[in-house]
Each structure stands twice: as C-alpha cells, then as structure tokens.
Amino acid sequence: MAETTAAAELPGAQPEAAGPLDRNDPATYPEWFTTRKPRANLIVARWVPIALVGLPVLVLFCIVVYPTVWMFYHALHDTNMMRLFQGNWNYIGFENFATVLNSDRFGDSVVHLGIYLTFGACLQVILGSILALILYELVKSNFLRVVLLIAMVLPMMLPPSIVGVLWKFLLTPSNGAINQALLNLGLIDQHIEWFNAGLSLWTIIIADVWNWTALPLLIVYSGRVSLPPAVYEAARVDGAGAWTTLRRITLPMLKEVIAIAFIVRFMDAFKFVDLVFIMTSGGPAQSSELPAYIAFQRGIREFAIGEAAAYAIVIFIVSAVLITLFLKYLKKVLKAQGFA
C-alpha cells in the first residue's frame, strides 16, 4: 500500500482511473506540445484534391473537349478562314458532309487508305512480331540482344520529317541510292520512277514500314518476355518441338498483345499526314492522298474550315466503328479459345 501511494505522489504520474486526456493540462503533455500552433496537413487540405483533379480536367477540356465541340459546330456551317475571323458564318446543315461523301477525291483516298492498312500497318505488325520472336528465341546473348533491339528501334526515334526527306533522297529516280544499288546488283535495267502515279503510294508505304515497324516489335517483344517460363518447361518435358511450341503456346498467348499492336498502328493510319506531305504532297494527280491528308489540305492550305471539319468527323466515325467491330471480334475469338 505504501509503495502504491509513493508512486502516485511522483511528479507527472497518472492515476490508474484517469479520465480523458486534457490538452491544456501541463501534467499530461509537455509545454512545447501545448504551445505549438497546429499546421494544416497537406494530404487532407482542401486545395490538394482540387488541384490534382481539377488541373488535368481543365487541360483535357482545353485541348480535347473544346476543340471537338468547335469542330462539330463548324462542320455544320460554311466557315472559311475569312468568315472565321469575321464571325459571320452561316448554318448550312449537313451540306459539308454531303460534299465529302459525294467527292470522288474522298472515295479514291479511302481506297488508298485500304491499301495502306493492308500492306503498311498489317505488314508492320507481321514484321515486328517476326523480328521480336526471332530476337527473343534465337539470340541467346543478352548483350547482343540489347544491341540489336536498340538498332531496330532507332528508326522510330527519328522525326517523320527527317524520315520523309531521307527516303525522298534515297528513292530519287536519277541518282538515288536505292536505284544505284539495284542497278549495280543487276536487278533492274533502268532507273525506277518511284514517285510516279503508280508507285507514289507504295513509296510512302516503304518509308513508313521502315519507320514504324519498331513499335509493334517492342510491344510483341515485351509481351513475349512476360510469358511464364513454366509453360515452356512443361512443353519441353512433353516433347514439344520449337514449331509446335510457337504455334500452340506462344502465338495463342500473344494474340491480345499482337492485337494491341495492330490497333495502335490502325489508329495512326487515320491521322497519317506527315510522310505524305513531305514525300509526295498527295501527288502526282492525287495518287497518294489519304483522307487525313485531304482534311489537312482543305483546312490548313485551302482554308475551307467547315469542310475540313466534316472530313475529320467522318474519319473519326469510321475509325471508331472499325475499331469497335475489331475489338468485339477479338473478344469473341479469345472467349471461344478460353483466353477471355
């Protein structure tokens, strides 16, 4: 009993049945704690969530939402550059869309786009997938694999303007390096006119395949690296060969990755302007024009703002519909095979 009483009399000691702690009681807290000023916590301050959410939403509105609404609005008006600055455009309904859809120039550009998608975007995905699998499966040295991967990715790092100028010089009919090499090898008897009406679109496709094959290569290579090694060990134990492993394991497991690579290049095809402008300017005789290039021509160079907006909306709707159908088909195939 005496020991308990002595402990209770010690300075700063708390009784066993003490009530709620009093912040202003100097016996409960030290002096520096009771006299300090409480500071706002930055994590829960009111302006922090407003800034983190509001600023990105504001930027998104300025660079995406407002231009999209502006484009839809002027697609319904007879806006050109002079009317745009004077503010006296007139509502004409869907006349711009009728002009676009009834234009032979637009119809030819859609055919060109189909050729580019088939022999440009698809070829890039196929070549990129083949190169990625060869790089991973056949090159055993990690150092050599990294060096080759960097070398293959370098063309993608170049600006499209540089790529266009480079290939324009390489394919110059009279003294271009490509023609000279083919002549020296005896593969051709005379210079090829790479920029005539029959070959201009194919010339652009060649340059674009060289420029962008690295993108699907990186996507497929990263997908192959992420596949579980245990599956391949089990296949080797079962006696599966390289071709069987590729056909039955690797490609089915990479279907989604390859589809992503194709969708990325498919979307880029609908805004493919730079190489067309630099290498051929859509010619000769509009033989290498694509829909996005016509929209660029009508809006930026010919100042037909309303018609260019109509072109952009038609391109957007067509691309959105095609991508949606492709994704539904892919999901159906993967579900049937047990991958989704």
Last residue of a domain, one of 9, 43, 75: 75
pLDDT level of residue 13 (50, 70, 90 thresholds): very low
Domain C-terminal end among 75, 110, 140? 75
**Residue 270 domain flag:** yes
Within a domain: residue 226? yes
Does residue 86 sit within a domain?
A: no
Q: Does residue 214 share a domain with residue 278? A: yes
Do 188 and 293 have their domain in common?
A: yes
Percent of the chain exceeding pLDDT 70 equals 85
Do 234 and 312 sit in the same domain of this protein? yes
**Beta carbons of 205 and 196 less than 8 angstroms apart:** no
Query: Would the pLDDT of 7 be above 50?
Result: no
Please report the pLDDT score of residue 39 as a whole number.
Answer: 60
Do both 112 and 39 map to the same domain? no
40 shares a domain with 110:
no
Examine the domain organization and report whether 34 and 132 are in the same domain: no
Please check the confidence at residue 10 and state whether its pLDDT lies above 90: no
pLDDT of residue 8: 45
Count structural domains, the chain. 2
Query: For residue 119, with 0-12 CB atoms within 10 Å meaning exposed, 13-18 middle and 19 or more buried, which class applies?
Result: middle
The pLDDT score that the predictor gives to residue 176 is: 84
Does 50 score more than 90 pLDDT? Answer: no
- 15-26: per-residue pLDDT in tens? 444 455 555 555
Q: Is the pLDDT score of 70 beyond 70?
A: yes
Domain end residue (candidates: 13, 44, 75):
75
Claim to verify: residue 137 and residue 260 sit in the same structural domain:
yes
pLDDT in tens, 267-322: 888 888 989 999 998 888 888 999 999 999 998 888 888 999 999 999 989 888 98
* Orientation angle between helical segments 66-75 and 305-336, nearest 10 degrees: 120
CATH code of 246's domain: 1.10.3720.10
Is the pLDDT assigned to residue 38 strictly greater than 80?
Answer: no
Confidence band for 3, pLDDT divided at 50, 70 and 90: very low
- With a cut of 80, say whether residue 337 has pLDDT above it: no
Q: What is the pLDDT of residue 98?
A: 92
Instruction: Report the chain's mean pLDDT, rounded to a whole number.
Output: 84
Do residues 235 and 294 share a domain? yes
| pLDDT tens sequence across 115-171 | 999 899 899 999 999 999 999 988 888 899 989 999 999 999 999 889 999 999 999
Lowest mean pLDDT among 109-113, 154-158, 335-339: 335-339
- Is 3 domain-assigned? no
Same domain, 60 and 31: yes
Cis? peptide before 284, omega within 30° of 0: yes
43 falls within a domain: yes
- Pair (29, 136) in one structural domain: no
> How does pLDDT run across 192-206, given as a tens digit for each residue?
888 988 889 999 999
pLDDT at 36 (0 to 100)? 63
- pLDDT above 90 as % of the chain: 34
Judge whether residue 213 has pLDDT over 90. yes
Judgement on whether residues 221 and 161 belong to the same structural domain of the protein: yes
What number is the average pLDDT over the span 224-253? 88
Say yes or no: 35 and 150 in one domain. no
Residue 16 inside a domain? The answer is: no
Residue 275 CA, chain-centre distance (Å), reads: 17
Domain that holds residue 68: 22-75
Lowest model confidence (mean pLDDT) among 22-26, 162-166, 173-177, 248-252: 22-26
Res 12 pLDDT > 50 = no
pLDDT of residue 163: 92
Measured CA to CA, the distance from residue 301 to residue 294 in angstroms comes to 10
What was the pLDDT predicted at 40?
A: 54
> Is a pLDDT exceeding 70 seen at residue 41?
no
Strands (E) across 139-259 are located at: none
**14 in any annotated domain:** no
Residue 80 lies in a domain: no
Q: Which long-range contacts (CB under 8 A, 24 or more apart) does 89-98 make?
A: 89/306, 92/306, 96/306, 96/307, 96/309, 96/310, 97/310, 97/313, 97/314
